[in-house]
Amino acid sequence: MKYQRGSAGISNAHGEPRPGRLMDEVRRCLRVKHYSLRTEQAYTGWIRRFILASGKRHPKDMGAPEVERFLSALAVHGRVAASTQNQALSALLFLYREVLAVDLPWLDNVVRAKRPQRVPSVLSREEVHRLLAAMEGRPWLLASLLYGTGMRLMECLRLRVKDVDFARNEITVREGKGGKDRHTVLPRTLLEPLQREIERARLIHANDLAQGFGATWLPFALARKYPGAPREFGWQYVFPSVQRSCDPRDGIVRRHHIDDSVLARAIKRARTQAAIDKPVSAHTLRHSFATHLLEGGYDIRTVQELLGHKDVSTTMIYTHVLNKGGRGVLSPLDR
């Protein structure tokens, strides 16, 4: 596809913007619909790969054969997981439906890869104890919160000071998966360590204010509705980053929350020191939280609410990994 220069910039023969301008429009549509920054990065990455794999042709000049060829190449040659292939498909569907406003009948006929139903990896109570014993400092507190509350990793990292209620032993999770808020338990054993961490964040925030910074990022239009809120301590992250950085969304220098790679590296080291052979990630601690609650006799609806699952069938998977063997059946060999 050849691009020509017009009054509105570089475009193709149909008047569509070149890929560079197209990606700007993709980002704009994603932000209008309040998609997360990680989703924005993933979607723009897949759309860019699709354009490059198709010889830099404009998406409006392509259709079902190109999309199916791209997805097939991912599965056959790239050997990606079904979830990865489906993410690429979701990015392309968003491109055609939301950005280009193209209503093509073949979009509904594109088949999504079937995701295999896998049983999650779960640590025993003793393994959790060994893992946490091999950690210290902020990574230990983060890992303890994940296991003690059942929060997802980013829910924990994005935790704001105002959402920790020490009087009620409760944490409010804001904008969880699906944009839902929920409450979860605050472990009593973490009250003092978490209070110390918040005091540490208070000192960092005071220092930022003294240097002319201290305004945190607020979702949606809250910063315009409440101009003073970004500098209030209650809106600051419980786990602030060591350094300030430039926000890729608006170019403003702010102090973001701690990066997830810090905890990932700490868990990897602790797993080795604790001699745990199972794969362990931050999400493994969430799986262990749910499983151990069910083992403790709590009903599945309560666990569903604490985890923030939309459907109880999602929570039902933890009944398969309870410490009772396969589906709780006593083997005839043990009788």
Tell me if 96 sits within 8 A of 102, measured CB to CB. yes
As annotated, the active-site residues are 152, 177, 283, 286, 309, 318
Question: What is the rounded CA–CA span in Å between residue 292 and residue 267?
Answer: 20
pLDDT band at 4 (very low <50, low <70, confident <90, very high): very low
Higher pLDDT, 62 or 42: 42
Percent share of the chain, pLDDT over 90: 55
Task: Give the start-to-end residue ranges of the domains of the chain.
Answer: 4-109, 125-320
Model pLDDT, residue 115: 66
Does 189 score more than 90 pLDDT? yes
Confidence at residue 276, expressed as pLDDT on a 0 to 100 scale: 96
| Residue 19 pLDDT > 60 | no
pLDDT at 332: 72
Give the model's confidence band at 262: pLDDT under 50 very low, under 70 low, under 90 confident, else very high.
very high
Classified by CATH at the fold level, domain 125-320 comes out as hpI Integrase; Chain A (1.10.443)
Given a cut of 80, whether residue 144 has pLDDT beyond it is: yes
pLDDT surpassing 90 at residue 142: yes
Whether the Cβ atoms of residue 95 and residue 47 lie closer than 8 Å to each other: yes
* pLDDT for res 328: 58
114-128 average pLDDT score:
83
What confidence score (pLDDT) does residue 6 get?
Answer: 37
Q: Is the pLDDT score of 31 beyond 90?
A: no
Which stretches of the chain are DSSP H helices?
19-32, 37-53, 64-76, 82-94, 125-133, 137-149, 153-157, 191-210, 222-225, 260-273, 282-295, 300-307, 312-315
Res. 159 pLDDT band, cuts 50 70 90:
very high
Mean pLDDT of the chain: 86
Confidence of residue 292 (pLDDT cuts 50, 70, 90): very high
Strands of the 182-185 sheet, one edge to the other: 164-165, 170-173, 182-185
pLDDT reading at 315 higher than 50 = yes
Directed axis angle between helix 137-149 and helix 125-133, to 10°?
160
Strands 182-185 and 170-173: antiparallel
pLDDT surpasses 80 at 147: yes
Partnered with residue 127 across adjacent β-strands are: none
- Using alpha carbons, select from 3, 27, 15 the residue that is nearest to residue 98: 27
Tell me what pLDDT residue 43 has: 95
Whether 125-320 and 4-109 are alike in CATH topology: the answer is: no
Class of the CATH domain delimited by 4-109: mainly alpha
Which pLDDT does position 83 carry in this prediction? 85
Q: What residues contact 28, with CB distance under 8 A and at least 6 apart?
A: none
Q: What's the average model confidence in pLDDT over 29-51?
A: 90
Q: Is residue 246 within a helix (H) or strand (E), and if so which, with residue range?
A: strand 245-246
HSE-up (13 A, CA, CB side) for residue 125: 8
Structure tokens at 112: 């999504």
Which DSSP symbol is given to 258?
P
Least confident of 141-145, 152-156, 311-315: 311-315
**Terminal C-alpha separation, the chain:** 73
Which of 7 and 98 is assigned the larger pLDDT?
A: 98
- What average pLDDT does the segment 125-143 reach? 96
Query: What are 43-82's pLDDT values in tens digits?
Result: 999 999 999 999 999 998 887 788 888 888 887 888 888 8
Grade residue 34 by pLDDT with cuts at 50, 70 and 90: confident
Mean pLDDT of 133-154: 96
Confidence of residue 306 (pLDDT cuts 50, 70, 90): very high
pLDDT in tens, 241-260: 999 999 887 788 999 999 99
Mean pLDDT score, 262-281: 96
